[in-house]
Chains A and B, each alone.
Chain A
Amino acid sequence: MSIQDAGHVDDQAKVAFFNDPKVRSWAYQIILVLFLGWVIWSIRENVSANLEAQNIATGWGFLGTTAGFSILQKLVFYTEASSYGRALWIGLLNTFLIAFLGVIFATILGFIIGIARLSSNWIVAKVAMVYIEVVRNLPLLLQIFFWYFAALRALPGKREKASFLDTIHLNITGLKMPAPVFGEGSSIVGIAVLAAIGGIFFLRRWAKKRQEEKGEQFPVFLTSLGLLFFLPLIAFFAAGQPIGLEHPVFSETGPMIRRGFALNTGLSLSPEFIALFLALVTYTAAFIAEIVRAGIMAVDKGQSEASHALGVSNNFTLRLVVIPQAMRVIVPPLISQYLNLTKNSSLAVAIAYPDLVAVGGTILNQTGQAIEIVTLWMVIYLTISLSISMVMNWYNRSIALVGR
């Protein structure tokens, strides 16, 4: 580049060499690069000197070493004999789990509150407003502590339970549900679910085409629901009921320590997970509600008036006119809220939910390899962030108004 620029300068010999804006801009940039290079080099020198002086191991070898500690919640196989690498993987999966469920429920709650905020019903709008103003203006960490330490004390003790329909139980050790047990032939049910989803996809295309051609409507939603419910159900009975339920075992007799729910029976959600989940969902929902409100308000009133004037019902106006236009405003900030939720899930470390940061912190303590662990955290979160922004850019492009 610089050679090319130099030639360029010669061409316009009128301007002095150092007054050429291009030369100047490159000079500044070279100085900047040199400066940054020097800073990075001196940090590197300091780090290696410090590590050597402190006799801290470097490199990624520790990932293969036995971890030796137990993890509260593991989605895939893990024991104390597993490696540090495996432990980090467990932590990452836990981060994904809380982020995934959190995003879904925060969206639902956020849309409900956002719409309630615009309700013509005075009290509903006010309750929604108060909710938003209170939750948005409190630190998330405080809310997590509140859900964990204050709400924890309100739950039934370990030897008691509060049950719902005698299948879902709640006490201080968490939410206990029956776990599905997949027997032989359960893959057939899985295939049926996939088939139902595929069927719905084609049904929608067909119905849309039919509507465009003949103007007739088909009850797509109800049919889809039916398909999704009955197809797997038929497959389930046809395969001879291969999926069973394993209920959590609750014992009320025997030595005190053995009473309550037995470990590793049924499906269990730890109170740490529940507290973090509730805090993240309620907190993020308040922000999503504001985004939804802004999005709906951004749609010109003339749009819905015009739609009503055409005789389109209220319901269809909302579904076909307002929401599609509001989505264009809603989706970009919505996705950045999803990203925030994912990043905020790292506050798990405060209440013992073993997410990526918490597990990484434990390993950091045991190995002292701060640089590797922090790098790993950063790389993983950056990857998540950048992939989400890529999705967002793609979506923005796909819904952008086509200019005329």
Chain B
Amino acid sequence: MKKAIISAALGAAAIGMVATGATAATLDDVKAKDFVQCGVSQGLAGFSNPDDKGNWTGMDVDVCRALAAAIFGDATKVKFTPLSAKERFTALQSGEIDVLSRNTTWTATRDTSLGLNFAGVNYYDGQGFMVRSSLGVKSALELSGASVCTNTGTTTELNVADYFRSNKMEYELVAFEKADEVVAAYDAGRCDVFTTDQSGLYSQRLKLTNPGDHVVLPEIISKEPLGPVVRQGDDQWFNLVKWTHFAMVNAEELGVSSANIGEMMGSDNPAVKRLLGSEGAFGEALGVGNDWAANIIKMVGNYGEVFDRAVGPDTPLKIERGVNALWSDGGLQYAPPIR
């Protein structure tokens, strides 16, 4: 119901912008309006991308779906707001959205001085480089003298500056406002190098005229932990978003998936029982039903399922699990236990 929003705006205009009292806790707001308002990107294949009919798919989108499943037991009770890099934090800060799930990098500044809280890491990313294979470049260290296309207003343009400076390489930076423009300019041959988060490179490569003519270089020049973001100062909501992600990771670790959740419901494993809510009252402690995690897994799936469906080797993006594998498989995805 955006209706409330517009009427509030009309009201503001009519009564001259008098404050209408403080906002309640986010979770209560969300329950009252009966959906989660989720900020996503304006279109990044594999993370948040609308199809022709306006249906959103991708890993970041699934975070929001899982949240809706945990709160309402209905993964469809979520609305998406496409945001540019510039708007995203303002939208969250001003309360326009409840959660920002838009391949956003967790940094110290954002965590502290922007009034935000990062509720976990749903994708460990790093900034990489893409070049034309015809250049014969094998390593990013050979890129001296290159012209580099990227997005403005993100950490990428700072990282690339650091990298080229510390390796004493010359470069020319062409920074665009929108991702589509970066792709168009790179495709036209304006730049030798396209740099952004590696996941973004794989995703944007699909948009090039001949995706096969371009390679992603092995170097990763930065740590880009991407995850959902909430406003500071609402611990209940922060916990819920955080544990929604952890529930999915725990589910994969415990071998619970959307396919086998029916039989797992009867499992004797106490950890599985706690996860699925037949033991303990972990859901209530978060302010939702005890079957919260069961709903997430039933409706959205565990972390591995989400990954494979959105960006995995069977998708056009063809991204390997790599550092995003579970800790038990040598990756970085690690969730605290539910107990």
A interface, CB within 8 angstroms of B: 38-39, 42-43, 45-46, 49-50, 53-57, 68-72, 80, 149, 152-153, 157-158, 172-173, 255-258, 262-264, 270-272, 349-352, 354, 358, 361-362, 364-366, 368, 370
Among the 9-residue stretches B11-19, B31-39, B255-263, the one with 4 or more Cβ atoms under 8 Å from chain A is B11-19
At the interface, yes or no: B55 with Cβ under 8 Å from chain A?
Answer: no
With CB as the reference atom, state the residue of chain B lying closest to A73: B172
| Interface mask (B107-147 → A, CB under 8 Å = 1, otherwise 0) | 00000111100000000000000010011110000111111
Q: Are A257 and B147 in contact (CB under 8 A)?
A: no
Beta-carbon contact of B188 and A152 below 8 Å: yes
| Nearest-Cβ distance from residue A371 to partner chain B, whole angstroms | 11
Q: Is B233 part of the binding interface, using a Cβ–Cβ cutoff of 8 Å?
A: yes
A368 to B112, CA, bound (A): 12
Name the residue on B nearest A368 (C-beta): B114
The answer on a CB contact under 8 Å between B157 and A42 is no
Number of interface residues of B (CB under 8 A): 52
Q: Which of A38, A149, A365 contacts B85 (CB 8 A)?
A: A365
For the complex formed, measure the closest distance between the CB of A220 and the CB atoms of chain B, giving whole angstroms.
46
B334, CB-defined interface residue at 8 Å: no
Decide: A39 and B154 in contact? CB cutoff 8 A: no
- Contact present for B142 and A172 (CB under 8 Å): no
- CA of A158 to CA of B16 in the docked complex: distance in angstroms? 57
- A and B contact pairs by CB, cutoff 8 A, 24 listed: A42-B16, A42-B17, A43-B17, A54-B231, A55-B232, A56-B115, A69-B157, A69-B161, A80-B161, A149-B185, A158-B147, A255-B137, A256-B136, A257-B136, A263-B147, A352-B175, A362-B153, A362-B157, A364-B153, A365-B85, A365-B152, A365-B153, A368-B113, A368-B114
Instruction: Check A173 against B190 for contact (C-beta < 8 Å).
Output: yes
The interface residues of chain B lying within 8 Å CB-to-CB of A42 are 16-19
Among A46, A80, A354, A366, the residue within 8 A (CB) of B19 is A46
Answer whether residue B86 sits at the interface, using C-beta atoms and an 8 A cutoff: yes
Are A263 and B172 neighbours in the complex by a CB distance under 8 Å?
yes
Kindly state whether residue B173 has any CB partner on chain A within 8 Å: yes
Shortest distance between the CB of B91 and any CB in chain A (Å): 11
Chain A nearest Cβ from B228, distance in angstroms: 18
B-chain residues with CB within 8 Å of residue A46 when the two chains form the complex: 17, 19
**Residue in B closest to A350 when the chains form the complex, CB atoms:** B177
Question: When A42-B18, A361-B152 are in contact, do A256 and B135 touch as well, CB less than 8 Å?
Answer: yes
Residues of B within 8 A of A368 (CB): 89, 113-114
Is A39 within 8 A of B188, CB to CB? no
Q: Which residues of B contact A370 (CB under 8 A)?
A: 90
A residues within 8 A CB of B147? Answer: 158, 173, 263
Please state if A54 and B142 are interface contacts (CB–CB under 8 Å): no
| Set of chain B residues within 8 Å of A264, measured between Cβ atoms | 170
Chain A residue at minimal CB-CB distance from B19 = A46
Known contacts A69-B175, A152-B190, A361-B153: A257-B185 contact under CB 8 Å: no
Q: In the docked arrangement, what's the CA distance between A368 and B94, Å?
A: 13
Cα–Cα, bound, A79→B19 (Å): 45
- What's the nearest-Cβ distance from chain A to residue B73, in Å? 32
Nearest-neighbour CB distance to chain B for A264, whole angstroms, equals 7
With A172-B188, A352-B181, A368-B89 given, is the CB distance from A54 to B114 under 8 Å? yes
- Give A70 to B173 CA distance when docked, in angstroms: 6
Nearest CB in chain A to that of B87: its residue:
A365
Q: Does B171 touch A at the CB level, under 8 Å?
A: yes
Known A152-B188, A272-B174; contact A257-B181, beta-carbon cutoff 8 A: no
Q: Identify the closest chain A residue to B147 (Cβ).
A: A173
State whether B115 touches A158 (Cβ < 8 A). Answer: no
* Chain A residues whose C-beta falls within 8 Å of the C-beta of B42 in the assembled complex: none
Give Cα A365 to B84, complex, Å: 11
- Please provide the chain B residues from 169 to 218 with a CB less than 8 Å away from any CB of chain A in the complex: 170-177, 181, 184-185, 188-190, 192
- Cβ of B86 and Cβ of A257 under 8 Å apart? no
Interface pair A263/B145, CB less than 8 Å apart: yes
* Cβ–Cβ contact B135 & A257, under 8 A: yes
Residue of A43, A69, A366, A370 contacting most chain B CB atoms (<10 Å): A69
Q: A42-B19, A257-B146, A352-B181 are in contact. List 10 more A-B contacts (CB 8 A).
A: A39-B16, A53-B93, A55-B112, A70-B157, A70-B160, A70-B171, A153-B189, A256-B137, A270-B174, A352-B176
Which residues of B have CB within 8 Å of A257?
131, 135-137, 142-146, 192
Known: A172-B188, A352-B175. A365 touches B90 (CB 8 A): no
A152 to B186, CA, bound (A): 11
Out of A53, A72, A352, A365, which one reaches B86, CB within 8 Å?
Answer: A365
Alpha-carbon distance A152/B176, docked complex (angstroms) = 15
Determine if B189 and A172 form an interchain contact, defined as CB atoms under 8 angstroms apart: yes
- In the complex, chain B residues whose CB is within 8 Å of the CB of A362: 152-153, 157, 175
Least CB distance from A75 to B in Å reads 16
Cβ contacts under 8 Å, A272 to chain B: 174
Q: How long is the Cα–Cα vector from A54 to B117 in the complex, in angstroms? A: 11
Check B154–A365 contact: CB distance below 8 A: yes
A257 to B89, CA, bound (A): 38
| Interface residue B318 (Cβ < 8 Å from any Cβ of A) | no
Whether, in the assembled complex, B158 has its beta carbon less than 8 Å from a beta carbon of chain A, the answer is yes
* Inter-chain contact A50/B93, CB cutoff 8 Å: yes
Cα of A49 to Cα of B18 in the assembled complex, Å = 13
- Write out the residue numbers on chain A whose beta carbons fall within 8 Å of the beta carbon of B170: 263-264
Which chain B residue shows the least CB distance to A69?
B157
- The reply to whether A349 and B86 contact each other, CB–CB distance below 8 Å, is no
Q: Tell whether B165 is near chain A: CB-to-CB under 8 Å.
A: yes
A residues near B93, Cβ cutoff 8 Å: 50, 53-54, 56
- Which chain A positions have C-beta within 8 A of B162? 68, 80
B33 to chain A, nearest CB (A): 20
CB within 8 A of A349: which of B174, B177, B185, B233? B177
Instruction: Return chain A residues, CB-CB under 8 Å to B90.
Output: 370
> A149 to B184, Cβ gap below 8 A?
yes
| A158 and B154 contacting across the interface, CB-CB below 8 Å | no
Q: Is the CB of A153 within 8 A of B115?
A: no
Residues of the B chain whose Cβ atoms lie less than 8 Å from the Cβ of A255: 136-137, 142
Shortest Cβ gap from A153 to chain B (Å): 5
* Residues from chain A with Cβ under 8 Å of B160 in the complex: 70
Known A149-B184, A257-B143; judge A271-B190 contact (CB<8 A): yes
Partner of B188 from the list A72, A153, A364 (CB cut-off 8 Å) is: A153
Nearest chain B residue, comparing its CB with the CB of A251: B145
Contact of B145 among A69, A70, A258 (CB under 8 A): A258
Q: Of B17, B86, B94, which is within 8 A of A50 by CB?
A: B94
User: Whole-angstrom distance from the CB of A43 to the nearest CB of chain B?
Assistant: 7
